[in-house]
């Protein structure tokens, strides 16, 4: 009877992609992939360390696996284990700890662990300096949209962020490997590809003159994919030349997630971000002029050390002005080993929570206004339908608006024109317009 393996993937889309690729590797090695809460022979926990809560959740999932089957081989990998290998290795019941390299070797590791009595954890974490991009690929996606990891690592040194410590320097996937993976996904039914990485905009800095825009053009021209979407991008990437090229890629979805972090120049300087608000404002304006119907989403950290009420007001005003479709708001979380963890003028928890609540409300109000304007303009949307939710089929438009349509038809995998007619809890409700 085949061994059973359960996966728990925490954190970003890159981590989720890696777990999907790893699940395919385990299946190819003869394992049966099961639910994480089932009794399995092997558990793989792909951890996250972006916040204190992420580390706590990672440890919680490790202990959950051990409780379900104390005799299982429990393998811990990912960002939290890269930064805290000794702490994770000391958890009784953990079998093997690896970081953010050699993940695709874990099926062989699991077979080795299962071949002998369970012992104390093996700590296999190593420094990521000089480590190349690890080949990994998926051949099928659970939905009609698939994430494809094209880059790992980050060369930025923002004062608050532990991810460069956990992921190492920028390493880019070979363009030929990206194209091969996208072609395989398209042949299995995938219609939309999301190119993702830890610092996606940095793709190609380690290649010879080949950058992210070149890759997007090649994916559009050489793979047969119908729609290309990008994950989080650094605002400073949007130079006039880049904007012109992006506007000319017909398959590129008109939606960009720009990593803002703050709408205050003083806070951005303290964060050691490589841009100021004028640069972000200019990037948004240039993209709106070049690409009709483009939308933007963003991340914002509130309560960074030294963020005064005036600084916070600047962020609120900027977010209103920018008209983001969605705001992802996080309270500042001090990460050990980062400069900001020891900065003076730390903000108390209640102030951070209050600012989160206020900015989340601002984001919802702005999104409601933006979507109401869209409905009033009777602007049709091209929607890739994905899942059923009760009486409705749901999907996302080209500009990343969540759209639902009341129907008894199974529309999963179809791209159809929809006229938005009313607001819904997460986006808009519409009707299919076959004549658009």
Assess whether 114 and 12 both reside in one domain.
Answer: yes
**What confidence tier does 34 reach under pLDDT thresholds 50, 70, 90?**
very high
Domain end residue (candidates: 355, 373, 391): 373
Q: pLDDT for 311-353, tens place per residue? A: 999 999 999 999 999 999 999 999 989 999 999 999 999 999 9
The number of folded domains in the chain is: 4
Residue 367 lies in a domain: yes
Residue 423 lies in a domain: yes
CATH code where residue 98 lies: 3.40.50.12160
CB proximity list for 425: less than 8 A, separation 6 or greater: none
Assess whether 194 and 223 both reside in one domain.
Answer: yes
Residue of higher predicted confidence among 435 and 223: 223
Residue 358 lies in a domain: yes
Check pLDDT > 90 for residue 90: yes
Domain end residue (candidates: 373, 406, 421): 373
Assess whether 253 and 311 both reside in one domain.
Answer: yes
The arithmetic mean of pLDDT across residues 286-309, rounded, is 97
**What confidence tier does 406 reach under pLDDT thresholds 50, 70, 90?**
very high
CA-to-CA distance for 248 and 203, rounded, in angstroms? 20
Q: Note whether 4 and 36 are within 8 A (CB).
A: no
Question: What pLDDT score does 194 carry?
Answer: 97
CATH code where residue 318 lies: 3.30.750.200
Assess whether 213 and 301 both reside in one domain.
Answer: no
Assess whether 360 and 255 both reside in one domain.
Answer: yes
Residue 50 lies in a domain: yes
Question: What pLDDT score does 436 carry?
Answer: 45
C-alpha 247: how far from chain center = 23
The arithmetic mean of pLDDT across residues 79-108, rounded, is 97
Question: What pLDDT score does 434 carry?
Answer: 73
**What confidence tier does 140 reach under pLDDT thresholds 50, 70, 90?**
confident
Residue 241 lies in a domain: no
CATH code where residue 424 lies: 2.40.50
Assess whether 258 and 369 both reside in one domain.
Answer: yes
The arithmetic mean of pLDDT across residues 261-273, rounded, is 98
Could you tell me if residue 372 is left (phi over 0), alpha (psi between -120 and 50 degrees) or otherwise beta? alpha
Assess whether 353 and 390 both reside in one domain.
Answer: no
**What confidence tier does 160 reach under pLDDT thresholds 50, 70, 90?**
very high
Check pLDDT > 80 for residue 64: yes
The arithmetic mean of pLDDT across residues 139-163, rounded, is 91
CA-to-CA distance for 228 and 146, rounded, in angstroms? 10
Which residue from 135, 142, 146 is spatially nearest to 183, judged by alpha carbons? Answer: 146
Q: pLDDT for 195-230, tens place per residue? A: 999 999 999 999 999 999 999 999 999 999 999 999
Share of the chain above pLDDT 90, in %: 96
Residue 237 lies in a domain: no
Question: What pLDDT score does 62 carry?
Answer: 98
The arithmetic mean of pLDDT across residues 245-261, rounded, is 96
Q: Note whether 137 and 177 are within 8 A (CB).
A: yes
CATH code where residue 172 lies: 3.30.750.210
Assess whether 317 and 287 both reside in one domain.
Answer: yes
Two tokens, residue 187: 């042949």
CA-to-CA distance for 149 and 238, rounded, in angstroms? 21
Residue 240 lies in a domain: no
**What confidence tier does 44 reach under pLDDT thresholds 50, 70, 90?**
very high
Question: What pLDDT score does 131 carry?
Answer: 93
Q: pLDDT for 356-389, tens place per residue? A: 999 999 999 999 999 999 999 998 999 999 999 9
Domain with 106 in it: 4-123
Domain end residue (candidates: 323, 339, 373): 373
């Amino acid at each position: 009877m085949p061994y059973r393996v359960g996966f728990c993937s925490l954190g970003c889309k890159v981590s989720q992609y890696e777990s999907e690729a790893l699940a395919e590797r385990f299946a190819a090695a003869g394992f049966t992939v099961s639910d994480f809460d089932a009794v399995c022979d092997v558990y793989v926990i792909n951890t996250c360390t972006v916040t204190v809560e992420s580390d706590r959740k990672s440890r919680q999932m490790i202990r959950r696996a051990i409780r379900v089957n104390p005799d299982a081989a429990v393998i811990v990998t990912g960002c939290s284990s890269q930064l805290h290998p000794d702490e994770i290795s000391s958890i009784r019941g953990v079998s093997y700890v690896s970081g953010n390299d050699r993940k695709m070797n874990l099926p062989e590791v699991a077979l080795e662990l299962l071949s002998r009595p369970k012992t104390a954890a093996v700590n296999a974490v190593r420094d990521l300096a000089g480590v190349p991009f690890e080949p990994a690929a998926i051949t099928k996606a659970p939905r009609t949209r698939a994430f494809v990891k094209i880059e790992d690592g980050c060369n930025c040194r923002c004062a608050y962020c532990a991810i460069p410590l956990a992921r190492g320097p920028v390493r880019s996937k070979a363009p030929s490997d990206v194209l091969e993976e996208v072609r395989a996904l398209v042949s299995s039914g995938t219609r939309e590809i999301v190119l993702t990485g830890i610092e996606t905009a940095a793709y190609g800095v380690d290649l010879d003159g080949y950058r992210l825009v070149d890759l997007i053009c090649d994916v559009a021209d050489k793979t047969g994919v119908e729609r290309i979407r990008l994950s989080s991008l650094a605002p400073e990437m949007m130079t006039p030349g880049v904007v012109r090229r992006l506007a000319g890629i017909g398959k590129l979805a008109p939606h960009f997630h720009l990593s803002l972090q703050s709408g205050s120049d003083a806070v951005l300087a303290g964060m050691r971000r490589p841009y100021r608000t004028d640069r972000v404002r200019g990037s948004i304006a240039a993209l709106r002029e070049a690409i009709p119907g483009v939308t933007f989403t963003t991340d914002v950290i509130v309560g960074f050390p030294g963020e005064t009420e005036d600084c916070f007001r600047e962020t609120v005003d900027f977010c209103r002005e920018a008209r983001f479709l969605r705001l992802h708001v996080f309270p500042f979380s001090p990460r050990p080993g980062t400069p900001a963890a020891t900065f003076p003028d730390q903000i108390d928890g209640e102030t951070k929570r209050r600012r989160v609540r206020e900015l989340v409300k601002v984001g919802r109000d702005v999104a409601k206004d933006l979507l109401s304007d869209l409905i009033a303009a009777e602007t049709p949307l091209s929607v890739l339908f994905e899942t059923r939710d009760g009486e409705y089929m749901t999907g996302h438009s080209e500009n990343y608006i969540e759209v639902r349509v009341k129907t008894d038809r199974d529309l999963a995998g179809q791209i159809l024109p929809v006229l938005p007619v009313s607001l819904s809890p997460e986006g808009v409700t519409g009707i299919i317009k076959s004549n658009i």
